[in-house]
Structure formats: C-alpha cells, structure tokens
C-alpha cells in the first residue's frame, strides 16, 4: 500500500532544505556558509576567526555611522564598477591544454623586430610604399615622410616587439607577416602605418619545461589581458565615445575647479562624463608632481577613452545580468565589508592619541633619521611636451647620461645648465612646490624625479648627491614622527582594539 507524506511535513522538509547553513554568528548576526566561502576565495590563507574579526569591526563602524559617510558611499559605486568588470572578463574562463599552452608560450615569447613609417593619410602611406618598392631605402623614406617624431630620425626603428606591446591592428599585421615583408597601409588611431618586419626570435622547448608552472600562470594572465583588449576593441565600435572638443580645448588643466561637474567632456553608452570626472580620473592615474598640469585636448581624450572602456564593459555586464547573480552580490557585499573595515581602521589610526613625551622619545631614539638636508647636487632637463617628458623619464631611469638626454631631448633655452651642481635645499623652494620638495628630500642619491610642472615646461630631475648639516627641530618633525609611530605600532594597537571588541561580543562558531 502506497504511503502518503502529510503536506505539513513536506513543507517542513522543504523549509529545512532551503535554510542556509550558518558557520558562525556575531551578536546575533549569522554568517552563512556561502558568505564564508566567498570570503575564503577573496582572502587566501584566512579562516573563520579572521572573518569574525572583520565582522566586529564592521558592526562597530556601522554603530559609529561610518557606513553613511560620503567616503563610503563613493566606495560603493567604485567597488561595484570594479567587480562588474572583473566578473564580466572572467565570465568565459580561458581553458587550454598543455599543447595549447606550448603554442601560446611560443607565440608569447616570439619577438619581432619592426620599423614603421607613420602618415596622416592612406595616400601618403601608399606613396611611401611605392618609393621603397622602387628601390629607395626604408630608413631614408622614414626620415623624410614619417610623422612619428620619436622614431623617424633613426629610420623608423621600433626595436623588438612582443604581443601585447602595441595597438591591436598594428600587432595583428606585424605577427601575421614573414621576415623581410613590407606591410601596409595599416590604420590605427594615430594614422596609417607602413611596417617592415625584421628579425624573428622564439622561445625554446627546454625553457618551457624548466619553467612550466610559472609559464602556465603567466599565459593564463596574458590570455585574460588579451581577451580584455579584444573586448575593448569590439565594444569601442559598438559604443562610440562622443567627445566634446570645445570643452577639452578651453580647459587644459587637471586641477578641478568650480562648475567642472556641470561641463560635459564626453558621452558614451548614454552616460555623460563630466570634466570633473575626467580630471579626477587623470589625477588618480598620472604619476607626476605638482598641481594643475597643462594637458592638451588630445591627451585628455585618450584618458577619456580609458574611462569609456570601463563604462562600456559595465553596460555589457548589466545587459548579461551579472549584477543580479548571487555570486556577484555575495562578492559585492564582501568587498563592501572590506572597505568599511578599512575606513574603520584608518579612522582609528588617524585619531590615535600620542603624547608629546612618547613622540619625543621616538625622536631621540631615531635622531639620525632627522638629519637636516643642506645642499642637493641636481641634474635636470626641461621639455615642452608631456609625451616627450614621459619618454625622457623612462630613458633617464634606464641610466642614460643627462648630458646625452640634454643634447637630444631638452628645450635648451628653458633648461640652461643641465649639470646644475650643488644648490642650497632651501633655495629650491623658489622653484618647486611642497610635494616636489618632499620628493627631493626623501629621494635616494641617483634617483630620478618628475615630470614636474613649471612655468618653463616639464622638468626631469636627478638627485645626484645630498649633503646634511645638523638635525631638524623636534617641533618641525612632530607630524612625521606621528606617522612613523603609527607605521611602527599602529598594527598592534589596532589588533588590541579588535580583541577588545571580540571580548565584548557574543561569538558562536558552529
């Protein structure tokens, strides 16, 4: 005889199965197994105790209303955008066999020597190509025709190029050609390229086997980056960026001023990019000293394209419903808790009450750190263009002598002497802003600093040698001492604070 299970019992069984298993509770707030799994995925090497520590910090932060601060509200939007991009790019994970990995490895390690001629129009590029086909040397035509000022003087030579180092259309053309082949015209955002393929280098089977694990990890990362670049190229055509040149032409600074939020610099995917948003993005990403840097419309537009890439991917992610997925929202909440814990910790450290007696003790114990800088031996070059300044900075950091940099790159009238020699440190205040003075003071001998904005142009500085005399007064270094004290003892003091919270909390681990 068939037995029937009562409906009430079925309901109970169903509800029991649906109730999420909890792994711990903190002051009545349960931590589910799913939350814990996401936490472990995002915090390798951590355990449930670390999660509970974060939970008590987050709870205290909410009691203190830190989750309603403008700082945290802004974080929510930034975190969501970053996660949407991350989830979208990982939506279709890259899978490959060992043979596929070898193939990718040999492609990755392949280097191709390339030279190019860049022209504004296709017609100019075709004319250059015909001249070379009729027997004229590539180098000669490059010097006469190319608009790439950085390579034309050396005959258009770009050196050896790996995949991922250049624009996708240029890369595709270069790596699909044979040695000695002349390719073009190839169109990119800079114009039309004529490309000459030189020597071709490859990796070896022995090298692959020797470094297999590291290579597989590298290939996986490179494949993800390649997928992102390809996606960016596809979405750029699907969602073109509309740039408002009149706004970019009229304002060349990166310093935010009033009404910048009302000026629209561009628009993509129906979303407006204000001049303020663009300037904030540029200042976050530009590694330069000083304030209010002069940037032309073309440079600003290139930064806006990077912003547009992110906006495009976020739109596609939402179209695919990624923001509605449970795993996304669990990761989003996990990231918000991380950020709130970070704000809580920063607030604690910034408000540490450190007595003058304690700071004076630190000063006396570490007096050698506070020697007074009297003179600095400076080498410098001044250039008139940000792109050129970035190039010069890289060349200088690679060890090129400043006398050679001066001869080839410097605006000589603005630079004056490249080997300035010893200058009293205090006198440099007449030339550099406060941030740059700190950079020079903290620099190691031989360190390169810049680009630094000045009335004369963009300065690249080498701190060749430093001389000290006496010590700084205690009153002048109190803030520096407090910062040093927090760096040295802040972590242990915060750990004590968290342990006190744990003692006051009702914790249960299942």
| Cα 183 from Cα 188, distance rounded (Å) | 14
- Strand 264-268 with 271-274, pairing: antiparallel
Task: Convert 363-423 into a string of H (helix), E (strand) and C (coil).
Answer: HHHCHHHHEEEEEEEEEEEEECCHHHHHHHHHHHHCCCCHHHHHHHHCCHHHHCCCEEEEE
Q: Which residues lie closer than 8 Å to 502 by C-beta, 6 or more apart?
A: 52, 53, 56
User: Strands across the sheet with 371-383, in order?
Assistant: 419-424, 371-383, 458-471, 447-453
Q: What per-residue confidence (pLDDT) applies to 212?
A: 73
Question: 393: how many CB neighbours lie within 10 A of its CB?
Answer: 20
Helix axes 33-42, 326-350, angle to 10 degrees: 70
Q: What per-residue confidence (pLDDT) applies to 359?
A: 84
Q: What per-residue confidence (pLDDT) applies to 414?
A: 84
Q: Which residues lie closer than 8 Å to 101 by C-beta, 6 or more apart?
A: 215, 216, 219
| Cα 451 from Cα 382, distance rounded (Å) | 9
For CA atoms 357, 344, 34, 317, give the dihedral sign: negative
Q: Which residues lie closer than 8 Å to 106 by C-beta, 6 or more apart?
A: 202, 203, 208
Which tokens in the block code for residue 305?
Answer: 């394209």
Which tokens in the block code for residue 496?
Answer: 């004590």
Q: What per-residue confidence (pLDDT) applies to 292?
A: 52
| Cα 45 from Cα 52, distance rounded (Å) | 15
Q: What per-residue confidence (pLDDT) applies to 241?
A: 92
Query: 371-475 — its CATH code?
Result: 3.10.50.40
Q: What per-residue confidence (pLDDT) applies to 96?
A: 58
pTM of the predicted protein model: 0.59
H or E element that contains 243 = strand 242-243
Q: Compute the CA torsion angle 63, 499, 490, 41 (nearest 10 deg).
A: -80
Q: What per-residue confidence (pLDDT) applies to 97?
A: 66
Tell me if 388 sits within 8 A of 459, measured CB to CB: no
Which tokens in the block code for residue 289?
Answer: 């000293």
Which tokens in the block code for residue 433?
Answer: 């802003």
Tell me if 273 sits within 8 A of 264, measured CB to CB: yes
Q: What per-residue confidence (pLDDT) applies to 434?
A: 84
Note whether 111-201 and 371-475 share their fold: yes
Domains of the chain, by residue range, sit at 111-201, 242-296, 371-475
Domain 111-201 of CATH type 1.10.10.370 = no
Q: Spell out the per-residue pLDDT of the chain, length 510, in tens.
A: 444 455 554 444 444 445 568 888 889 899 899 999 999 988 888 899 999 999 999 999 999 999 999 889 888 988 999 899 888 887 655 555 677 777 767 766 788 899 999 999 999 999 999 999 999 999 999 999 999 888 888 899 988 888 777 888 898 899 889 999 999 899 988 899 999 999 988 777 777 777 777 777 776 666 667 777 777 788 888 899 999 988 887 777 777 888 888 899 999 999 999 998 888 888 777 655 445 556 678 888 888 888 898 899 999 999 999 999 999 999 999 999 999 999 999 999 988 888 888 888 888 888 878 888 889 998 999 988 777 888 888 888 888 888 888 888 888 888 888 898 898 988 888 888 888 888 888 888 889 988 888 777 888 999 999 998 888 888 888 888 888 888 888 899 999 999 999 999 998 888
Q: Which residues lie closer than 8 Å to 334 by C-beta, 6 or more apart?
A: 35, 38, 39, 42
Helix axes 297-319, 70-89, angle to 10 degrees: 70
């Amino acid at each position: 005889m068939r037995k029937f299970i009562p409906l009430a019992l079925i309901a109970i069984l169903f509800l029991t199965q649906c109730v999420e298993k909890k792994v711990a509770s903190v002051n009545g707030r349960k931590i589910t197994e799913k939350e814990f799994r996401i936490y472990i995925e995002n915090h390798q090497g951590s355990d449930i105790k670390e999660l509970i520590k974060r939970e008590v910090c987050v709870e205290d932060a909410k009691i203190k209303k830190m989750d309603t601060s403008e700082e945290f509200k802004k974080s929510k939007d930034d975190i969501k955008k970053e996660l949407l991009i991350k989830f979208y790019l990982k939506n279709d994970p890259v899978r490959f066999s060992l043979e596929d990995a070898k193939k990718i490895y040999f492609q990755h390690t392949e280097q191709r020597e390339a030279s190019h001629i860049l022209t504004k129009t296709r017609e100019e590029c075709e004319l250059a190509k015909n001249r070379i086909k009729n027997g004229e040397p590539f180098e000669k035509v490059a010097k006469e025709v190319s608009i790439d000022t950085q390579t034309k003087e050396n005959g258009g030579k770009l050196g050896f190029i790996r995949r991922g180092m250049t624009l996708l259309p240029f890369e595709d053309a270069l790596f699909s050609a044979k040695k000695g082949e002349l390719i073009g015209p190839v169109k990119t955002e800079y114009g039309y390229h004529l490309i000459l393929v030189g020597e071709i280098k490859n990796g070896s089977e022995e090298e692959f086997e020797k470094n297999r694990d590291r290579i597989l990890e590298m290939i996986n990362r490179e494949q993800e980056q390649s997928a992102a670049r390809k996606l960016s190229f596809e979405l750029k055509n699907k969602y073109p960026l509309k740039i408002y040149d009149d706004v970019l032409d009229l304002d060349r600074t990166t310093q935010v001023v009033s009404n910048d939020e009302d000026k629209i610099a561009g628009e993509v995917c129906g979303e407006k990019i204000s001049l303020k948003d663009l300037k904030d993005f540029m200042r976050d990403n530009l590694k330069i000293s000083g304030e209010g840097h002069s940037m032309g419309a073309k440079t600003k537009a290139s930064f806006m394209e990077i912003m547009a890439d992110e906006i495009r991917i976020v739109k596609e992610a939402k179209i695919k419903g990624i923001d509605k997925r449970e795993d996304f929202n669990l990761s989003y909440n996990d990231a918000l808790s991380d950020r709130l814990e970070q704000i809580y910790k920063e607030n604690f450290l910034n408000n540490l009450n450190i007595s003058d007696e304690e700071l004076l003790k630190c000063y006396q114990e570490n007096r050698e750190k506070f020697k007074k800088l009297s003179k600095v031996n400076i080498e410098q070059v001044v250039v008139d263009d940000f792109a050129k300044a970035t190039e010069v900075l890289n060349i200088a950091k690679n060890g090129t002598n400043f006398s050679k940099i001066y001869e080839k790159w410097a605006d000589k009238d603005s630079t004056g002497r490249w080997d300035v020699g010893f200058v009293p440190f205090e006198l440099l205040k007449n030339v550099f802003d406060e941030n740059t003075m700190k950079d020079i003071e903290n620099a190691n001998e031989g360190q390169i600093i810049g680009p630094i904005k000045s009335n004369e142009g963009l300065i690249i500085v080498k701190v060749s040698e430093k001389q000290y005399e006496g010590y700084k007064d205690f009153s002048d270094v109190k803030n520096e001492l407090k910062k040093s004290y927090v760096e040295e003892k802040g972590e242990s003091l915060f750990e004590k604070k968290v342990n006190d919270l744990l003692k006051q909390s009702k914790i249960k681990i299942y």
